[in-house]
Amino acid sequence: MATATIADDLRPLHHPKSWIGKYVWSQDHKVIAIQYSLTAIAIGLVALVLSGLMRLQLGFPDTFDFIQPENYLQYVTMHGMIMVVYLLTALLLGGFGNYLIPLMVGARDMVFPFVNMLSYWFYLLAVLVLVASFFVPGGPTGAGWTLYPPQTILEGTPGHQYGIILMLASLAIFVVAFTMGGLNYVTTVLQARTKGMTLMRMPCSVWGIFVASIMGLLAFPALFVACIMMLLDRLVGTSFFMPAIASMGKELGYEGGSPILFQHLFWFFGHPEVYIVALPAFGIVSDLIAVHARKNIFGYRMMVWAIVIIGALSFFVWAHHMYVSGMNPYFGFFFATSTLIIAIPTAIKVYNWLLTLWRGDIHLTVPMLFAIGFLFTFIHGGLSGLFLGNVSVDVPLSDTFFVIGHFHMVMGVSPILVIFGAIYHWYPKITGRMWNDALAKIHFWVTFLGVYAIFLPMHYLGMLGVPRRYFALGETAFIPPSAHLANEWITIAALIVFAAQMLFFWNMTWSLFRGPRADPNPWGAASLEWQTPDTPPGHGNWGPTLPTVYRWAYDYSVPGADRDFTPQTQPPGGAGRYHAT
């Protein structure tokens, strides 16, 4: 169904009167997107600082007295959880999802604006509860971001007093927030597309965010129940996950619970989560590449189906995180096979990105640089994943820095590069201003080369057998001096990369006030969000009438057209070619 179900006139929209109504209790998807993004970036900065502290300790052990072993574990945990859930998920779906979906499908807003607003405030609450754990006695939990029982709630684990309770509560609140947002994103895509916007005319960005939202709605409940059940184990002494166990010489009164059950629930959420982050990034990077190479995305239908298939398959691979858990070995065989099958649609996407670039009119703009950077890091991270997907290779590498190098490349750095590219790409639409090109290019090069300097040597460390989540290596016989050298090098590279991020923040803030006024469509993009009557778009997005869509979002360099792009709103005949989907 491609017709708009939200009426063409603006009256049904809630028009705020006061400043507070407009910017604080706002129901406008664009304002909510900014609120989500700024909160996610703020808490992401905390995670970045924590990784800096970890790197200082690993690069220069015995130098920083204020970092004790228990602090290190707390940093690891909070860094990992914040990065994955509170930064990447919130920014890609709550931030980009909110901003882009209505604008790209030609809607005035999300279908349930009030629920959308609530989603943000619950998210903020989740962040505040999480931050509170830094200030309670015992500090935040040091259980590792995977929160495996039984150690998570045992006395020897940092933050077992209150930190773990706040972490579990915060995650549960996050799931509530995500559900309210996710229902909106899915419903808006299905019900509020403007006239002519068929599903197969939607830009890849919307497809990625749409499928990721459906996945979130299916995967997050597993995390939710795991959190509630563990809270009960911790607070009222149930034994869902806790086996009969003695700790520090005393029996704890738990009986019969299954720690492995927790791992299954966690990874039933945790693996799809990787794609909840990756699919929006896949979609967005497809659009960046098409716009900045002035070509249609190669194999659009294949790209869309690959997103759908990857999303579906990723629910059948979760136990590749559990090869060393002691589960039945036949499971390992099944999950290794399903894991490696995902490589097929993923490789198709990579080929199609490269084929889009092939003979394109490549503009090496900053968004394009970040998109190409993503291709590098994603391919490298994906290749090491092919190794780890095999049980016999994973067993010795599990719990070493090889895994740290792998997943930072593929799900840490890759989506972050897309996010940077996307911020540079849409900044002129969001703010009406242009950023400083020279600063942005320095930011790109230092970040791109820097992440290689940081994460490639980690693979080497892992192959030496350097374990993850270790405060210090000490005098360990099997670890050669080169490992210590590599650790120093990584730390120095990380500090340089941090400095480059400050350039980014400076550029974004300064340009907001001083940047030159941006053209309404500086990249010559064909998709709908660039065709709004105002830049930045006003409340209701489209002025008096909703746009009508006549073609897909990728009519670039069409032979015979008068420009090298034909907007989706341009009727067939005359200048543009009609794309028959």
80 binds, among Cu ion, ligand HEM, none (CB under 5 to 8 A by kind): ligand HEM
295 touching Cu ion, by CB under 5 A: no
| Choices 58-66, 103-111, 264-272, 418-426; region in contact with Cu ion by CB under 5 A | 264-272
30 touching Cu ion, by CB under 5 A: no
Q: Which residues bind ligand HEM (CB under 6 A)?
A: 51, 54-55, 76-77, 79-80, 83-84, 88, 144-146, 404, 408, 411-412, 416, 454, 468-469, 494, 497
Q: Compute the CA torsion angle 314, 142, 174, 377 (nearest 10 deg).
A: -40
Total residues at interface with Cu ion (CB under 5 A): 1
412 binds, among Cu ion, ligand HEM, none (CB under 5 to 8 A by kind): ligand HEM
Spatial distance between the Cα atoms of 76 and 56, rounded to a whole number of angstroms: 13
What single DSSP character describes residue 202? S
Spatial distance between the Cα atoms of 225 and 219, rounded to a whole number of angstroms: 11
The answer to whether residues 450 and 489 touch, using CB atoms and an 8 Å cutoff, is no
Q: What's the sign of the alpha-carbon dihedral 326, 217, 197, 295?
A: negative
79 binds, among Cu ion, ligand HEM, none (CB under 5 to 8 A by kind): ligand HEM
Comparing CB distances to ligand HEM, the nearer of 80 and 385 is 80
- CA–centroid distance for 446 within its chain: 21
579 binds, among Cu ion, ligand HEM, none (CB under 5 to 8 A by kind): none
Which has the closest alpha carbon to 32: 177, 203, 232?
177
Residue 32 makes CB contacts below 8 A (sequence gap 6+) with 26, 94, 98, 116, 117, 119, 120
Comparing CB distances to Cu ion, the nearer of 58 and 276 is 276
The answer to whether residues 112 and 187 touch, using CB atoms and an 8 Å cutoff, is yes
Secondary structure (3-state) at 140: coil
| Choices 13-21, 245-253, 266-274, 283-291; region in contact with Cu ion by CB under 5 A | 266-274
Token look-up 């930011």 returns: 443
Encoded tokens for 187: 């419903």
Encoded tokens for 3: 């017709």
Comparing CB distances to ligand HEM, the nearer of 57 and 535 is 57
Comparing CB distances to ligand HEM, the nearer of 54 and 126 is 54
459 touching Cu ion, by CB under 5 A: no
The secondary structure of the chain in percent helix, strand, coil, rounded to multiples of 5, reads 65, 0, 35
201 binds, among Cu ion, ligand HEM, none (CB under 5 to 8 A by kind): none
Comparing CB distances to ligand HEM, the nearer of 378 and 523 is 378
Selected binder of Cu ion within 271, 380, 406, 443 (CB under 5 A)? 271
For the CB of residue 80, give the shortest distance to ligand HEM in the complex, in Å. 3
Q: Within a 10 A sphere around the Cβ of 521, how many other Cβ atoms?
A: 18
84 binds, among ligand HEM, Cu ion, none (CB under 5 to 8 A by kind): ligand HEM
For the CB of residue 407, give the shortest distance to ligand HEM in the complex, in Å. 7
Q: What does the binding site for Cu ion look like in residue numbers (CB under 5 A)?
A: 271
